[in-house]
Amino acid sequence: MKSLTAEDLSIYEWQLDVPHFGEEGQRKLKNATALVSRAGGLGGALTMQLAAAGFGKIILAHEGELKPSDLNRQVLMKQSEIGKLRVTQAKETINRFKPDIEVEAINANFNETNAKDLVAKADIVFDCAPLFEERFLMNRECVNQNKPLVDCAMFNLEAQLMVILPGLTPCLQCIFPEKPPHWKRKFPVFGAVAAFVASLGALQGIKIIAGMPNVLINQMLYINSDTLLFRKIPIHKNQNCKICSHLTKKDIQ
Amino acid sequence: MNIKFMYTSQIALLAKTDEETIDVPNTSNIKQAITVLLSKKTEDFKRLLFNQSDNLLQAILLIKNGNQISYEDLATLKDGDEIMIFSPMSGG
């Protein structure tokens, strides 16, 4: 396990006194690998906060080149780099901020071919993907490998956040067994909405890895930033869930 | 009795509101209350909640007074109950 250096203590000084975190929590982050699916509006903002907090390694999986319409929310990108790979730009931005964080940039979306290997390399997974097929695949693979999954989502001025701890909490498909048939890939949203739910998601990940209390368990957080309604909705496992109902507490390590 | 319906994401966008109060018969359960709601809505709205066979989409989460509830729940609602019809969101 890597130890904290004098430079680490200096950089993270302002968070070391957060209750239940301390040097032990910082050490855990330094030795943790996060997988972030997509480096766009949600994923980019979330990745920046993981880097700020001091995750040791971040794997970013996102295929494709930057488009103009990405620039209202994809804060790791540069307008001068339209047409260039998003994931490469994301890596450059993060490493300009924090050179010591290992960023593995993969020019591919999370898919059936890479799912198993990507999740196997991670201690925690952050779902920031737009397609429900991708989200469900991430959910399934995290359940199969018993890895925590932080599920972030947004639409218009709203956001939702869930933490999935396989076997202990509902999985994504306990709550949403199928994708909404009318879902459209492009939807209205501000970058500021992506930023706040991404930050909340990053914080859940920090708490999980550092072993801090009050992780969002068995609740879904719903936020309406138009009316400033914040609501924690109790959610429960579906005993017939095709993804996780086979897990019992004794399966949890 | 008055039931407050709250909507999220696509449903709220189509309804052009986050919430509205609907008058339903005093003996209504959730299925009956939603039937009354749908009688005041367009076919497009209905299709966000139900498939062509008129079954509630599995993607829809119903929340009564802050707690998950099944569409098949037979309990009579009370005046002032709040039903959130939750359509999932995604990333991007």
pLDDT in tens, chain A (253 residues): 999 999 999 999 999 999 999 999 999 999 999 999 999 999 999 999 999 999 999 999 999 999 999 999 999 999 999 999 999 999 999 999 999 999 999 999 999 999 999 999 999 999 999 999 999 999 999 999 999 999 999 999 999 999 999 989 999 999 999 998 888 889 999 999 999 999 999 999 999 999 999 999 999 999 999 999 999 999 999 999 999 998 865 555 4
Cα(A103)–Cα(B79) distance, rounded to whole angstroms?
55
Cβ atoms of A107 and A62 closer than 8 Å: yes
Residue A148: closest CA among A34, A44, A65, A224: A34
Residue A69: φ, ψ to 5°: -70, -5
Note the pLDDT tens digit of each residue in A164-190: 999 899 999 999 999 988 888 899 999
Task: Note whether A40 contacts B92, CB cutoff 8 Å.
Answer: yes
A227 with B13: Cβ contact below 8 A: no
What is residue A137's three-state secondary structure? Answer: helix
Sheet holding A57-61, edge to edge: A102-106, A57-61, A33-37, A124-127, A149-155, A158-164, A219-224, A229-234
Helix/strand/coil for A61: strand
**% of chain A at pLDDT higher than 90:** 93
Q: What is d(CA A71, CA A63) in angstroms, rounded to the nearest whole number?
A: 16
Q: Are A42 and B92 in contact (CB under 8 A)?
A: yes
Q: Which two tokens stand for residue A153?
A: 């989502």
The ipTM value here is 0.93
DSSP conformation class of B33: H
> Reduced to 3 states, what is the DSSP secondary structure of residue A238?
coil
**Whose CA is closest to A138, among A168, A104, A164?**
A164
Strands A102-106 and A57-61, by their bridges, are: parallel
Minimal Cβ distance to A156: which of B9, B57, B61: B9
Q: Tell me the residue type at B36.
A: V
Q: Is B92 on the interface with A (CB under 8 A)?
A: yes
The interface residues of chain A toward chain B in range 41-70, judged by CB-CB distance below 8 A, are 41-43
**Is A240's Cβ below 8 Å from some Cβ in B?**
no
Give the pairing type, strands B2-7 and A33-37: unpaired
The string of pLDDT tens digits covering residues A140-162 is 999 999 999 999 999 999 999 99
- CA A89 centroid distance within chain: 18
Residue type, B33: A
CA distance B6 to chain A (A): 11
Q: How many residues does chain B have?
A: 92
Contact check, Cβ <8 Å, B12/A156: yes
Three-state SS letters, A201-226 = HHHHHHHHHHCCCCCCCCEEEEEECC
Residue with tokens 């004098």: A6
Per-residue pLDDT, A251: 53
B contact residues 25-64, partner A, Cβ 8 Å cutoff: 47-48, 51, 57-61, 63
- A29-47 burial, b if ≥16 CB within 10 A, otherwise e? bbebbbbbbbbbbbbbbbb
Q: What angle do CA A213, A134, A137 make, to 5 degrees?
A: 70
